[in-house]
Amino acid sequence: MRLRALLDTDALGLRLLGGEDELDRTVRGVMTTDLRDPSRYLSGGELVLTGLAWRRDAADSEPFVRLLVQAGVAGLAAGEAELGNVPEDLVVACVRHRLPLFAVHESVAFATITEHVVRQVSGERAGDLAAVVDRHRRMMTSGPAGGGPDVVLDLLGSDLDLRAWVLSPTGRLIAGPKVAGPGLPADTCAKLAAEHLTAARTGRRGPHRVTLGSSTYSLFAVRSSGRSPQASRDVRETVLSDWLLAVEADAGDWPEERLDLLRGVTQLIAVERDRRDAARTVRRRLAQEVLELVQTGAAPAEIAARLRVAAPVLLPGLGAAPHWQVVVARVEWQDGDLEGGPVAQSLLEEILVDPSATGPEPSDRIAVAHTGDEAIALVPLPAVSTEHDGSEAGILADALLESVRDPLAAGLDDDGRVTLGVSASVHSAEGLRGALEEARHARRVAAARAGRVCAAGHQELASHVLLLPFVPDDVRRAFTARLLDPLRDYDRRHRAELIPTLEAFLDCDGSWTRCATRLHLHVNTLRYRVGRIEQLTSRDLSRLEDKLDFFLALRMS
């Protein structure tokens, strides 16, 4: 569609403020933003809608417009609800850069303009899904008429008999149809996310079709603000943050008209994604402020003041001051030419969403900042008894990645890694600096392990596990080979299970009775196996030093 067509639509009530000679530009999409620099989300040809929240003073208009022009947008529409009218400095900047500028009356919702542009771009070539798009306004309106993306998924089911779900890149179910019918199991969500990320890394054009059991799913990317696959120079910048729409149908035989219109639905769902991202802006700013204070050695009283501001935002209604945990994440790529901080930030915001949250909004009780290749999350916990350190109620490293490991590994492919470290909980500003260092040390322990996705917790920093990852590889191999290779060879030849017996014996603290019970063996059989271990290795399992050597060898193997 052309920009000129927007002025011919009375329902939109747009008023042209400049750029009359440029109205024949083609509009290929629409984006709503109040970011000071939205260029990374633009692919060219968009009509940009803004409420002007990015503008602090007149000097902000020129750089904002320049960034839009460099990104190749078709035009800019500014809402009058925030400031009463469009500032003159924005009009001047748009005239200078030949960017068409429209004023949006406060009575016109951006959702109305978004719907109109999406319908026109899609061409309204198929009447079935056009009805869904027409009724989709409820997804983006407030009050009882709204309902988030669940509404449009219900309409897909009622109008087109299509069951569909919106998933995060880690397989978290964001939205699904509320009408009666079987839900989507968690393991299916994880598999669909992994398949989508694998396909996205290849650069193949969607939708991607996946068969799981007797069901076939078509996967559509939900790209922020209608961004096209070419919007990012490197797919790795967004592959771990983009949502996906999973439709239980085989889109292989769909006409192009239906595919185009369903892609239009993903653009509408992307509006909800952008809204949720915008809601995280305050939390991100709080985390950045606290992090800067902690790292610059600010006084505890100053840090505590910022924490008092953060607590009501992150834990509304909490009476007592919370305890805090710190989670550090790093996303690293083999070629090292891509900054991993923003990717790690989006990833932490995703995996730290409260899994027990219900309702249309996820419970984001975290604040995440990033610096360089590192993202740092400040996680509030309800205050606990002073008898405990709070870790029981907090985030555990072992469980943090349990359900998202496979999808993340697929998105990382063979050239990326995600490593996380988790601190113990602290109850005051004085403890935050130590918690940050603790989380960073734990992340280094995780980074020393094998695997694409690894995490470590503060508990591991108080044991031998802290030291093991930093033992040189050749020393580790020589040490374990000297102690364990004779046992492995014997097991291979005789199927004697000496290695499992050794592990169980050490785990039972050398108790013959408990170990024999665990292995379902007679004590005499256990004594024979332990004697064979000692004979093959020339060690004595009654000596503490030899027990310790075996224990470390098993942990390093």
At residue 360, the pLDDT reads: 40
Helix (H, G, I), strand (E, B) or coil at 513: helix
Residue bearing tokens 């260029």: 39
User: What is the topology classification, in CATH, of domain 140-278?
Assistant: Beta-Lactamase (3.30.450)
At residue 470, the pLDDT reads: 58
Instruction: Tell whether the model's pLDDT for residue 337 goes beyond 80.
Output: no
At residue 464, the pLDDT reads: 57
At residue 467, the pLDDT reads: 59
Q: Which phi and psi angles does 84 have, rounded to 5°?
A: 90, -35
At residue 146, the pLDDT reads: 45
3-class SS string, 216-251? EEEEEEECHHHCCCCCCCCHHHCCCCCEEEEECCCH
At residue 228, the pLDDT reads: 44
3-class SS string, 417-470? EEEEEECCCECCHHHHHHHHHHHHHHHHHHHCCCCCEEEEEHHHHHCHHHCHHH
At residue 529, the pLDDT reads: 94
Query: Could you tell me if 98 and 70 are in contact, meaning their C-beta atoms sit under 8 angstroms apart?
Result: no
Q: Which of 43-52, 391-400, 505-514 is predicted with the least confidence, judged by mean pLDDT?
A: 391-400
Instruction: Tell whether the model's pLDDT for residue 492 goes beyond 80.
Output: yes
At residue 449, the pLDDT reads: 79
Residue among 276, 29, 266, 275 nearest 164 (CA): 266
How far from 372 is each of 214, 338, 432, CA to CA, in Å?
A: 45, 10, 20
At residue 226, the pLDDT reads: 43
Instruction: Tell whether the model's pLDDT for residue 125 goes beyond 50.
Output: no
**Beta-bridge partners for 215:** 212
At residue 468, the pLDDT reads: 61
At residue 2, the pLDDT reads: 85
At residue 444, the pLDDT reads: 84
At residue 355, the pLDDT reads: 53
* Positive or negative: CA dihedral 363, 367, 372, 374: negative
Q: How far apart are CA 352 and CA 258, in angstroms?
A: 36
Please state, for a pLDDT cut of 90, what percent of the chain lies above it: 23
Instruction: Tell whether the model's pLDDT for residue 129 goes beyond 60.
Output: no
At residue 385, the pLDDT reads: 41
In the chain, where the domains are located: 3-112, 140-278, 281-470, 473-556
At residue 456, the pLDDT reads: 85
Q: Which of 25-29, 58-62, 389-393 is predicted with the least confidence, judged by mean pLDDT?
A: 389-393
Specify the pTM: 0.57
At residue 103, the pLDDT reads: 93
**Beta-bridge partners for 246:** 165, 219
- The single-letter DSSP state of residue 407 is H
CATH 1.10.510.10 assigned to 473-556: no
From edge to edge, which strands make up the β-sheet containing 416-422?
367-371, 374-381, 323-333, 416-422, 453-457
Q: How far apart are CA 445 and CA 468, in angstroms?
A: 9
To 5 degrees, how large is the angle CA 317–CA 319–CA 322?
100
At residue 394, the pLDDT reads: 62
Mean predicted lDDT score pLDDT of the chain: 80
Q: How many CA atoms does the CB half-sphere of 19 hold within 13 Å? A: 29
222-279 pLDDT tens trace: 876 544 444 445 667 777 778 899 999 998 888 777 787 788 788 778 877 777 777 7
pLDDT band at 127 (very low <50, low <70, confident <90, very high): very low
Instruction: Tell whether the model's pLDDT for residue 390 goes beyond 60.
Output: no
449-491 pLDDT tens trace: 778 888 888 877 655 555 565 567 777 788 888 899 999 999 9
Residue bearing tokens 């509404």: 151
Residue length of the chain: 557
Q: Which of 36-45, 344-353, 395-404 is predicted with the least confidence, judged by mean pLDDT?
A: 395-404
Q: Which of 37-51, 129-143, 158-172, 515-529 is predicted with the least confidence, judged by mean pLDDT?
A: 129-143
User: What is the topology classification, in CATH, of domain 281-470?
Assistant: Alpha-Beta Plaits (3.30.70)
Instruction: Tell whether the model's pLDDT for residue 13 goes beyond 90.
Output: no
Mean pLDDT of 163-184: 81
Instruction: Tell whether the model's pLDDT for residue 396 goes beyond 60.
Output: yes
Mean pLDDT of 48-73: 93
Residue among 173, 169, 273, 276 nearest 227 (CA): 273
Residue bearing tokens 């000496």: 498
Instruction: Tell whether the model's pLDDT for residue 128 goes beyond 70.
Output: no
183-211 pLDDT tens trace: 788 889 989 988 888 888 777 777 889 99
Q: How far apart are CA 323 and CA 379, in angstroms?
A: 8
More confident: 5 or 126: 5
Helix (H, G, I), strand (E, B) or coil at 505: helix
Q: Which of 62-71, 102-111, 425-434 is predicted with the least confidence, judged by mean pLDDT?
A: 425-434
**Residue 15, H or E segment:** strand 14-18
In this structure, the number of other CB atoms found within 10 A of the CB of residue 506 comes to: 16
Mean pLDDT of 495-518: 91
At residue 16, the pLDDT reads: 93
From edge to edge, which strands make up the β-sheet containing 46-50?
14-18, 101-104, 75-79, 46-50, 29-32
To 5 degrees, how large is the angle CA 274–CA 151–CA 10?
70
Residue 485, token pair as written in the block: 């290779």
- Superfamily (CATH) of domain 3-112: HprK N-terminal domain-like (3.40.1390.20)
At residue 144, the pLDDT reads: 36
Q: How far apart are CA 216 and CA 205, in angstroms?
A: 18
What is the amino acid identity at position 186?
A: A
What is the amino acid identity at position 527?
A: R
Residue among 203, 16, 170, 164 nearest 94 (CA): 16
